[in-house]
Homo-oligomer: A and B are copies of this chain.
Amino acid sequence: MSEVINISLDVMGGDNGPAVILEGADLALVRHPDVRYHLYGDQEIMESLLDDYPRVKQASTLHHCEVVIQMDERPSQALRRGRGKSSMWRSIEAARDNQSQVCISAGNTGALMAMSKFCLRTMADIERPAIAAIWPTLRGESVVLDVGATIGADAQQLVDFALLGGAMARALFGIEQPTIGLLNIGEEDVKGLDEVKEAGRMLRDFEFPQFKYKGFVEGNDLGTGAVDVVVTEGFAGNIALKTAEGTAKQLAEYLHSAMSRTLMAKIGYLFARSAFQRLREKMDPRKVNGGVFLGLNGIVIKSHGGTDGEGFASAISLGYDMVKNGLTEKIEQDLSVYHKNRVVPDEENA
């Protein structure tokens, strides 16, 4: 396939300014020369910065936007102020109008989700969107969703998330039939939320051909990679994600302090330097940068706001890979198989 992949970037989003976004675009372009960018932001700023990135300049179309959404702006205000004209809105709109196949922003998450919902709308048969995270595991990587799009989810919405996450795992990991688990808590007495139990029954009964439902998983199964896709509602999912990030930082801190405490430890550190380097790379949060908004009519990726060029390039690569592997088509296919074969009576027809 020699077709180019079009990606729209919100150049003004993020804590570290447009230079980081363009640096990321440059790094990603080296890896994926078939990418074309649509850049949304302040024309003057973009032009002056692009002098440093001739490759990006050549591969890009610039779109001037006067409004920039602030990192601390409330979503409702961002929507009012930025709808139709902010760099964030217009980069999303490009994905809606098929000018781009994926939109990437490091901006304000709440505003990005609000605008994405408003601009792209949820897919037919999907009630609510989810944010999917790539979770590094001992076996490789898993997809975990929802990590914070919406609080709470009923059984049908959890089943929808399973479908969306399954399609993403197929597109991203190249697995024919990913395994899926529902995040729950283990004690018999309180074995989980009613909606989780009900979603489990639905997933088991349906015998969906494109993934294998494996039952409940617990918080400690996330790191081992017990399943390819972990499904949960956004409150618990967000807390799990942030807790894992916090624990990783905490242990890195312990390790650092242990290694700098004595002379012997410092000498040991020198010998094992390349091993520590490997470990650092393994734990590098920039490598798995990007929350994917699923369930909307268009793909939007939220990069960490505080990322650097390397991290933003990872978010672009993530989008590139998903487009290249037909994520949207896979989701549509999965949904249509599901809704054609669904035996559960539809509430609307009941």
Contacts from A to B (Cβ < 8 Å):
74-75, 109-111, 113-114, 137-138, 148-152, 183, 185-190, 192-193, 218-224, 232, 234-236, 238-251, 253-255, 258-259, 261-262, 264-265, 267-276, 278-279, 282-283
**Distance of A291 from chain B, by nearest CB (Å):** 11
In angstroms, Cα B84 to Cα A52, docked, is 79
Contacts of A218 in B (CB 8 A): 238-239, 242
Interface of A is mostly: helix
Contacts of A268 in B (CB 8 A): 267-273, 275
In angstroms, Cα B259 to Cα A307, docked, is 29
**Distance of A349 from chain B, by nearest CB (Å):** 31
In angstroms, Cα B251 to Cα A250, docked, is 11
- Tell me whether B241 and A219 are in contact (CB under 8 A): yes
- Tell me whether B246 and A222 are in contact (CB under 8 A): yes
Contacts of A113 in B (CB 8 A): 187, 189
Contacts of A110 in B (CB 8 A): 187-190
Given contacts A151-B185, A218-B239, 20 further A-B contacts (CB under 8 A): A110-B188, A138-B250, A185-B234, A186-B238, A190-B234, A193-B235, A219-B238, A219-B239, A219-B241, A219-B242, A219-B246, A221-B246, A236-B239, A254-B279, A258-B275, A258-B278, A259-B272, A261-B275, A264-B273, A264-B274
Contact A248/B251 with A272-B268, A273-B268, A275-B261 known, Cβ cut-off 8 Å = yes
In angstroms, Cα B296 to Cα A231, docked, is 34
Which 5 pairs across A and B sit closest by C-beta, in order of nearness?
A268-B272, A219-B242, A268-B271, A220-B246, A110-B189
- Tell me whether B255 and A279 are in contact (CB under 8 A): yes
**Closest residue of B by beta carbon distance from A271:** B268
Contacts of A150 in B (CB 8 A): 190
Contacts of A187 in B (CB 8 A): 109-110, 113, 148, 238
**Distance of A324 from chain B, by nearest CB (Å):** 29
Q: Identify which of A148, A221, A245, A251 gathers the most chain B CB atoms within 10 Å of its CB.
A: A251
Contacts of A232 in B (CB 8 A): 239
- Tell me whether B271 and A267 are in contact (CB under 8 A): yes
- Tell me whether B272 and A265 are in contact (CB under 8 A): yes
In angstroms, Cα B241 to Cα A247, docked, is 10
